[in-house]
Amino acid sequence: MKLGKFLFTGSLSLFALAACVSNDDKSEWNDGSQPINFTSSIQGLNTRAANAEWTAGDKVGIFMKAANGDLSAATAVNKLHTTDKNGNLTASNADNALYYPTDGSSVDFVAYYPYVTSLAGTTYKVDVTTQTDQPAIDLLYSDNAKGFAKGASSKPQLQFAHMLSQIVFNIEKDATIPTLNGLKVTFKGMNTKADFTLADGKLGNAGTVADIAANVDVDGATATTIVLPATALSDIKVVFDLNGKSYTADYPQNVLDAGRKYVHKVKLSDSNGQPVIVMEAATITDWIEVPGGDIDVDFGGGTVTPPTEVVLLDEPFDANQGVFTIDDKVLPEGSTYVWKWNTYTDKNTQITTQYMKASAFINNANKASESWLVSPAVNLSNVSDATLSFEHCHKFGAVKENEMSVWIANAGTTDWHQLTIPTWGTGNDYTYVTAEINLKAYVGNSVQIAFKYVSTESAAATWQINSVKVVGMNGEGGGTVDPEPDPEPTPGEEVILLEETLGTPAKDGTQWPWVADYKGWTDTHDLQYSANNVSVRSVDGFANLWFPSKKESFFKISELNTTGYSNLKFSYGITSEASGVDQNKITVSTDKGDVVVESKAIAATKTYQLVELTLQDGITFIQLAGTTANEKGYRINNLKLVGVGK
């Protein structure tokens, strides 16, 4: 496996913390009262790797810091607490006891399991090589208990989440296999070690590729493995050994998310004297059980069926509202929008989050509104099961279920049905949680998903959503429905692959829309537009892309489908704020490299002159860019790409 392909899932960033040091003088916190006791829960099912409840004596490390303060200034560091089987936590001894500050100030708590006596600075060392004692490697993490102080009426409840992934094989045999005793299951190509930094709640520095032997029970009925969360698992192999025969297969799961339990039903039989293992699709429990794929394992050399998990919708909102549309039923007084793409960079961690935000708190007042954030059509016709997942958080408001909801309808209809959101944040902060909703009832249809926001003059919540995904299981297709699929190329026929005239842009107040905010695109192909320092304007009756002077800027068109076409010709109109400047100050590039733009002076400031370029076959994007060397602003319009069918 290429280590560069082993990436950690974004869900871990939801537990970001600041750095910590060993400042461990508890005297200022000790007011002579009773030590703080804690309750706890584990996200999803109340389960660790090994059993269905905490085990009495389980060891947890707890940090205490000033409310909203940095962990680097924590007064209590890595204090050992032990659990009873119900999850109640108490200090292991007097030296590990925690006390509220005497001045009544509030504190936050951070905790992890399993406890180690010493951390590597702020880093917990993860090692999943040995699976014989799985509770000892089942990393749990809590950062929810905030704002507690002396005299608090309730105990802090530490809500733990699994930071790793679990793979479970439930194994059956038929009469052709005499016994499962001695079955061995080994994963090859996986990283086994990583660093979990308490400073930001992330896994990193993955490395040390080694064999991982699954924990197989004595009768061979179950094989369990805890592994590092990862994406792009195309190189991972699973080796099955039984009765002196061995077979190596590709592991069918492409992604392993933190906190997920990937459960496969495995059937063993003997086909014409050759043992066969059939690995059926996985299902998800919390941990959260996840479907995987089917594997047919023939010890005599058989075949492996490809993975059957398919991503049908994946919108991270990393640059704009993406493929979603906004349907404003009622706009709040004093505003032109409810849903808006936004980005936030944490000043402590420097982690940037992109998301869609809904709010009707305008001019320091709650306003009545209703607005829907609606997905494109998602095709569930070729899958046997499907799951919707999204990350979200909220603050303010009154009754969250009435103000923020998720709906589903058959594509193109208005017969919406409300779905139940199973997981909510605290409502007191902007810490994201992941909600997952099963869509099995809608399999066989093409559907749309909508996030509905409602506010009143007495309550206006803020709702933030990112990482919306629909994953289908066991299907051979699916995905977002293309209402007009691109036709197959006809040899010798010239076809327009891109034609963007930019529509009719208008100002929002005094501001022309940035590319990320613009909704008036005219091209009918399934393309993605991104930009930096480029806005969409209308001057003298001509819509245009504005590249300002003395700024680094670019406009990029992605997801171009040029397969089957040659003789690609790209053209656009260009003018400037000053005549005589060179048109080649706006450069052009593709994924095949830079494209030479002829040196030619702009003839007039209000006249667009045509630029025509020949591009290499097989390109997937085109980018136009300006630099600080651009002394005058440039305007671009009428972008067009044509190709000739091969």
Q: What is the largest CA-CA distance in the chain?
A: 88
Cβ pair 251, 237 in contact under 8 A: yes
CA dihedral (576, 577, 580, 585) positive or negative: negative
Query: What do you get for the CA distance between the two ends of the chain, in Å?
Result: 37
SS3 state of residue 208: strand
Question: E strand or H helix at 126, and its extent?
Answer: strand 123-127
SS3 state of residue 469: strand
The Cα 243–Cα 568 span in angstroms is 59
For the question of whether the overall pTM of this predicted structure is more than 0.85, the answer is no
Nearest to 90 by CA among 43, 135, 54, 65: 54
Nearest to 449 by CA among 324, 319, 322: 324
Nearest to 251 by CA among 277, 219, 275: 277
Cβ pair 149, 106 in contact under 8 A: yes
Residue 586's pLDDT is what?
94
The Cα 610–Cα 570 span in angstroms is 10
Residue 3's pLDDT is what?
26
Under DSSP, the state recorded for 597 is P
The two beta strands, 165-173 and 261-271, are parallel
Under DSSP, the state recorded for 426 is -
Residue 480's pLDDT is what?
47
Residue 27's pLDDT is what?
33
Show the beta-strand stretches assigned E in 456-549. Answer: 462-473, 479-480, 494-500, 528-532, 535-539, 542-547
Residue 114's pLDDT is what?
92
Residue 595's pLDDT is what?
93
The Cα 608–Cα 195 span in angstroms is 56
Residue 459's pLDDT is what?
92
Nearest to 188 by CA among 211, 222, 160: 211
Q: 């493929």: which residue's tokens?
A: 323
The Cα 453–Cα 405 span in angstroms is 7
Q: Give the burial string for 295-332 (b: 16+ CB within 10 Å, else e).
A: bbbbbeebebeebbbbebbebebebbbbbbebeeeebb
Cβ pair 307, 292 in contact under 8 A: yes
SS3 state of residue 530: strand
Cβ pair 458, 402 in contact under 8 A: no
Token reading at 454? 């409602």
* Other residues' Cβ atoms within 10 Å of the Cβ of residue 33: 11
CA dihedral (327, 330, 332, 334) positive or negative: positive
Cβ pair 64, 91 in contact under 8 A: no
- Residues in the chain predicted with pLDDT less than 50, given as ranges, are 1-32, 44-46, 52, 277-286, 291, 297-307, 475-485
Phi, psi of 256 (to 5 degrees): -125, 110
The Cα 569–Cα 197 span in angstroms is 50
Give Cβ neighbours of residue 69 (< 8 Å, ≥ 6 apart).
18, 108
At 224-233, the pLDDT tens digits run 999 998 866 7
The Cα 340–Cα 355 span in angstroms is 9
Phi, psi of 129 (to 5 degrees): -60, -45
